[in-house]
Amino acid sequence: MLLLPVCVSILMGLLAGFLPSVGMEPLPESRFGSDHTQSLESPNSNYSQLTLKLEFASKVVEHEYIVAFTGYFSAKARSLYISSALRNTNDGALEWHIVPRENPASDFPSDFELVHIRQASTSSLLTLEDHPYIKRVTPQRKVFRSLKYIPSPETPAPCNSTHRMQKWQSSRPFRRTSLSLCSTFWHATGRHSSRRLLRAIPRHVAQILQADVLWQMGHTGSGVKVAVFDTGLSEKHPHFKNVKERTNWTNEKTLDDGLGHGTFVAGVIASMRECQGFAPDSELHIFRVFTNNQVSYTSWFLDAFNYAILKKIDVLNLSIGGPDFMDHPFVDKVWELTANKVIMVSAIGNDGPLYGTLNNPADQMDVIGVGGIDFEDNIARFSSRGMTTWELPGGYGRVKPDIVTYGSGVRGSGMKEGCRSLSGTSVASPVVAGAVTLLASTVLNRELVNPASMKQALIASARRLPGVNMFEQGHGKLDLIRAYQILNSYRPQASLSPSYIDLTECPYMWPYCSQPIYYGGMPTIVNVTILNGMAVTGRIVDKPIWQPYLPQNGDHIDVAMSYSPVLWPWAGYLAVSISVAKKAASWEGIAQGHVMVTVASPAENDSEVEGELTSTVKLPIKVKIVPTPPRSKRVLWDQYHNLRYPPGYFPRDNLRMKNDPLDWNGDHIHTNFRDMYQHLRSMGYFVEVLGAPITCFDASQYGTLLMVDSEEEYFPEEITKLRRDIDNGLSLIIFSDWYNTSVMRKVKFYDENTRQWWMPDTGGANVPALNDLISVWGMAFSDGLYEGDFTLADHDMYYASGCSIARFPEDGIVIAKNLKDQGLEVLKQETAVVERVPILGLYQTPSDGGGRIALYGDSNCIDDSHRQKDCFWLLDSLLQYTSYSMTPPSLSHSHSRVASPTASERPLPQRLEGNHLYRYSKVLEAHLGDPKPRPLPACPHLSWAKPQPVNETAPSNLWKHQKLLSVDLDKVALPNVRSYRPQVRPLSPGESGAWDIPGGIMPGRYNQEVGQTIPVFAFLGAMVVLSFFVVQLTKAKSKPKRRKPRIKRPTYLQQQQTTNGKNPTV
């Protein structure tokens, strides 16, 4: 229970001595950030959105006493003192013993002891205190501690070095950026963290992950080629012994690291001293692809990647990422790289805790995407998360990151020498890359190591973190030793990620577990990744088979599958769509079954098997079915009309957020509208996603269609269908956003990365298209651009770059507020307040049983990204109105209510001339003159798999039964595995000594190889010394008078004295 007060206090002192300096150490890149000084002055200000509340409770533990000594004594001495002290008590039959403390510090001298004394009288305690070496005796207390995170409403920009640099004029840092954070330690631990610091000792990450076990077995990464794609490395860095080659691919004429990022990353992988890396004997290939100004181009990467292929690199770390997964040359090249057996490890991004922020290339199936955790196994706040967004709007994202590992306050090599702490997923990535390198060197048959088998071993061995969903932690935390065991008994096979589908398992399977499925709902899609360790290409034999479990109501669900025609490179997808069968329309319960997939690959060169290798994998499925909810409870989210970067420039919805000009999070209810989704679920609504045109859903099933921040155009057929649906009782809520052509021209910028001008293709939303959709009801949004705080129905609201309502039917309810004209501010830098801007409108369509329409001019208050004040209450009120026809009195009787604006006022916004929306649109196509709508595509059709029922039952917990085939962890013995002993003594940066290997854990082969040349010199030297000896001895024997010369040589004596003077302790 006790937290080693002694050692901890020593540590505290040491940490307090050097940590702040490490934490405050400005990253060199921050030179370029104008506002960095501010963040340096108040490192905590960046973190004000997280308040940590510590609560304590303590109670006395009976019969246990802490005996504090006046100094530090060994365990034996302490025991002696106590027994001698207690011997003096009158109470002869006093029962006592020392409570053993099993911890790494117990070998070291301590100044206290925990004693259990039965029926201790006050007198015996007093006698104890009489002992000369005992300072005091206090009762043992049990401390209960609970941590509470309190997110405060304002969300300032996270302290991300790359974001800090951003100027509106460049999209650069939103593309590929190096993924480390600026003020490191402060970021990791937060403000009130002095107590956490004790437990989050910045130990060597390689030792925490038990790399020393593998080192002791003689594996140190030798023979594995690791490429570090980063900011370079200086030539004579003392931490590295096997730098094979350094190449520069940038336009700066240097190979050295000017930022410290590349050195740190290389250090985590392969440093051999001070802050040790994982694989000190690996062959390091340094690729400098990022300049000191944080610039990099796709073309540099292409050439550098080609060189890596030519050099037959085994493991490649890329602590760099960006949102542009539509950069085809880059994505293709990464595929090519892994197809050439390069194991690619990449950082998932530092854009958390927002969802939908995964970075490329870490989000690719063939790449190992790494997220960050702190030393207490919490997902690091900065770690990017959420599903991949490639598959939107029709499909559903894949699970990423693949695994997580330490990425907060990790120690690695400093730019010139020594160590420093850094945080960021770019720290977590080399931890995995280093581990992968070390693992690869343990495998005897290197042919078995490939990007897929390595990833399979890592994810099968990962330790799941409790209470965290799979879109944050992937398969869990890296476990090096278990990965070693799995990899060393690995047989080529296919596996799935995730390996089972349990839609009832919370929170791991969030968001699936947050909403049960029912008949008539949009099919639930789970996008499973197939990893194929057999060969770079593979295919699915025949078709996957759906086998419902009859005893477990498997026949109540229908399953459809779509999959990659060819699994290349090393991976492919298997999208499983699950729907409820009609016979279960009013049934409630759990249904189970499984899908069987057989993957075949051509046999590899050296295998004995002729022809094809096959591997069959089982994917268990478990779902919860409820009766179809009433229409009013069902909300349909329009995903089809949401566009985002990449590839086009779709500007942010909040123009104040200049450092993040792009709208790139997917605009999905499970990415940046996650909070809104959670809120609607908690209010009892069932939210489904429409990934197809409006013509493709049965409107009679839904109460409300929710369109938020739509950038896409509409097919004429969609407009007609929506009118008919609303006449028949469907309701519509639109959260629009700004669209002003002058402002759009103003926010164009020259993009350093693509070396061309970027002109937005829409505003925050596509208002002209929305106006086409709603014009039939006499409604329209304006091209105004407003901003400001106001109060509505006793709620504080913030209007962040929204438009106003230009036209509205006279019998509707319209709410107006006084707002600032942000358009004027952007264009002319003038401030003007506009009175009574109509922002909210409610309207009941006149037809019998017709639906209702609600319009609001700004989407920022329900969007997680850059949200300042949420307005979920407003969404509730609007849904009450649209779904249940209950007009909220706070709105209908508001004194802000105004007469409906009419057509006579300002003109409606027109589409920006020359916009390139057609390039990214699913609706428009290029045409002479204006782009024209394409023909309406057919609605997606799922072909349900023919069920092959089996009379089986599944175990209640699907997870534990899913591991790689033919791998029995118990069978793989670990020779020389010591029990895990974390190093308690922290190493100060100055502690470096040439051959001082901390803790002496670096084993045999390492030292041998370091000194391959040393024995020769040692032998020569020894010979010299030996001959000197021999000469001396012979001289001494022939001249026995040895004392005389010493007296005769005062100079010699003097010399000795001076030496002694310099070393008084000798």
Partner 1 sequence: MMVLRRLLRKRWVLGVVFGLSLIYFLTSTLKQEERTIRDRTLLEVRDSDHRIPWKVRFNLGNSSRQMSQCRNSIQGKMLLTDELGYVCERKDLLVNGCCNVNAPSTRQYVCKSCLANGCCSVYEYCVSCCLQPDKQPLLERFLNRAAEGLQNLFVAVEDIFELCLAKCRTSSQSVQHENTYRNPQAKYCYGESPPELLVL
Nearest distance, CB of residue 752 and partner 1, angstroms: 10
Nearest distance, CB of residue 339 and partner 1, angstroms: 4
Nearest distance, CB of residue 136 and partner 1, angstroms: 40
Beta bridge partners of 556: none
The residues in 540-579 that bind partner 1, with binding defined as CB under 8 A, are: 566, 568-569
Contact segment (CB under 8 A) with partner 1 among 292-300, 350-358, 705-713, 844-852 equals: 292-300
Site string for partner 1, 603-622 (x = CB under 8 A): --xx----xx----------
Which residue, among 69, 62, 63, 59, has the nearest Cα to 6 in the 3D structure?
69
Nearest distance, CB of residue 889 and partner 1, angstroms: 53
Contact segment (CB under 8 A) with partner 1 among 240-248, 507-515, 811-819, 930-938 equals: 240-248
Is residue 228 within the footprint of partner 1 (CB under 8 A)? no
Is residue 1056 within the footprint of partner 1 (CB under 8 A)? yes
Nearest distance, CB of residue 535 and partner 1, angstroms: 8
The single residue among 64, 327, 479, 558 that binds partner 1, judged by CB under 8 A, is 327
Nearest distance, CB of residue 243 and partner 1, angstroms: 5
* Closer residue to partner 1 in complex, CB, 966/1058: 1058
Is residue 307 within the footprint of partner 1 (CB under 8 A)? yes
Is residue 960 within the footprint of partner 1 (CB under 8 A)? no
743, 912 contact by CB (below 8 A): no
The single residue among 174, 229, 330, 735 that binds partner 1, judged by CB under 8 A, is 330
Is residue 1047 within the footprint of partner 1 (CB under 8 A)? no
Q: Is 327 a catalytic residue?
A: no
Degrees to nearest 5, angle at CA 765 with 763 and 767: 90
* Closer residue to partner 1 in complex, CB, 235/796: 235
* Closer residue to partner 1 in complex, CB, 889/1011: 1011
Contact segment (CB under 8 A) with partner 1 among 97-105, 218-226, 335-343, 615-623 equals: 335-343
The single residue among 210, 532, 753, 921 that binds partner 1, judged by CB under 8 A, is 753
517, 623 contact by CB (below 8 A): yes
Concatenated DSSP letters for 100-138? P--SGGGGS-EEEEEEEETT--HHHHHHHHHSTTEEEEE
Encode 595-661 in three state secondary structure. EEEEEEEECCCCCCCCCEEEEEEEEEEEEEECCCCCHHHEEEEECCCCCCCCCCCCECCCCCCCCCC
Is residue 829 within the footprint of partner 1 (CB under 8 A)? no
Is residue 1018 within the footprint of partner 1 (CB under 8 A)? yes
| Cα–Cα dist 159/46, whole Å | 6
Q: Which of 187, 219, 239, 261 is catalytic?
A: 261
| Cα–Cα dist 197/185, whole Å | 10
The single residue among 209, 536, 837, 912 that binds partner 1, judged by CB under 8 A, is 536
Which residue, among 535, 435, 379, has the nearest Cα to 214 in the 3D structure?
435
The residues in 424-463 that bind partner 1, with binding defined as CB under 8 A, are: none
787, 865 contact by CB (below 8 A): no
Is residue 243 within the footprint of partner 1 (CB under 8 A)? yes
Nearest distance, CB of residue 82 and partner 1, angstroms: 37
Q: Is 638 a catalytic residue?
A: no
Is residue 1059 within the footprint of partner 1 (CB under 8 A)? yes
Q: In what order do the strands lie in the sheet with 110-117?
A: 96-98, 110-117, 50-73, 134-151
Is residue 971 within the footprint of partner 1 (CB under 8 A)? no
Is residue 248 within the footprint of partner 1 (CB under 8 A)? yes
* Closer residue to partner 1 in complex, CB, 391/752: 752
The residues in 251-280 that bind partner 1, with binding defined as CB under 8 A, are: 251, 253, 255
Which residue, among 229, 463, 563, 268, has the nearest Cα to 367 in the 3D structure?
229
* Closer residue to partner 1 in complex, CB, 611/849: 611
| Cα–Cα dist 729/699, whole Å | 8
Nearest distance, CB of residue 536 and partner 1, angstroms: 7
Which residue, among 646, 621, 435, has the nearest Cα to 524 in the 3D structure?
621
Nearest distance, CB of residue 1025 and partner 1, angstroms: 3
Residue owning tokens 């916004």: 909
Site string for partner 1, 621-660 (x = CB under 8 A): --------------------------x-------------
Q: Calculate the CA dihedral of residues 770, 772, 777, 782 and round it to 10 degrees.
A: 60
Q: Which of 131, 170, 230, 663 is catalytic?
A: 230
Pairing mode, if any, of strands 243-248 and 283-288?
parallel
Is residue 341 within the footprint of partner 1 (CB under 8 A)? yes
Is residue 309 within the footprint of partner 1 (CB under 8 A)? yes
The single residue among 303, 417, 675, 727 that binds partner 1, judged by CB under 8 A, is 303
Residue 531, CB-side half-sphere exposure with 13 Å CA sphere? 28
Which residue, among 11, 104, 4, 5, has the nearest Cα to 999 in the 3D structure?
104
- By CB atoms closer than 10 A (0-12, 13-18, 19+), residue 63 is middle
Pairing mode, if any, of strands 795-802 and 96-98?
unpaired
The single residue among 142, 328, 724, 828 that binds partner 1, judged by CB under 8 A, is 328
Q: Which of 1024-1061 are b and which e, b meaning 16 or more Cβ less than 10 Å from the residue's Cβ?
A: eeeeeeeeeeeeeeeeeeeeeeeeeeeeeeeeeeeeee
Is residue 876 within the footprint of partner 1 (CB under 8 A)? no
Q: Length of the chain in residues, anyone?
A: 1066
Instruction: Give backbone dihedrals phi and psi of 195, rounded to 5 degrees, phi first.
Output: -80, -30
Nearest distance, CB of residue 350 and partner 1, angstroms: 21
Which residue, among 881, 837, 844, has the nearest Cα to 706 in the 3D structure?
881
Nearest distance, CB of residue 422 and partner 1, angstroms: 24
The single residue among 51, 79, 340, 880 that binds partner 1, judged by CB under 8 A, is 340
Contact segment (CB under 8 A) with partner 1 among 20-28, 729-737, 749-757, 826-834 equals: 749-757
- Reading phi first (left if > 0) and then psi (alpha if -120 to 50, else beta), residue 611 is in left
The residues in 916-945 that bind partner 1, with binding defined as CB under 8 A, are: 919
Is residue 36 within the footprint of partner 1 (CB under 8 A)? no
Nearest distance, CB of residue 1051 and partner 1, angstroms: 13
Nearest distance, CB of residue 918 and partner 1, angstroms: 11
Q: Is 363 a catalytic residue?
A: no
Is residue 1017 within the footprint of partner 1 (CB under 8 A)? yes
| Cis ω for the linkage preceding 998 (within 30 of 0) | no
The single residue among 5, 104, 602, 933 that binds partner 1, judged by CB under 8 A, is 602
Cα dist from 280 to 240, 994, 1006, whole Å: 7, 15, 8
Is residue 310 within the footprint of partner 1 (CB under 8 A)? yes
Is residue 1046 within the footprint of partner 1 (CB under 8 A)? yes
* Closer residue to partner 1 in complex, CB, 299/953: 299
Which residue, among 437, 296, 217, has the nearest Cα to 753 in the 3D structure?
296
Residue 653 CA, chain-centre distance (Å), reads: 24
| Cα–Cα dist 555/561, whole Å | 16
| Cα–Cα dist 222/242, whole Å | 9
Is residue 993 within the footprint of partner 1 (CB under 8 A)? no
Residue 747 CA, chain-centre distance (Å), reads: 30
Catalytic sites, residue numbers:
230, 261, 426
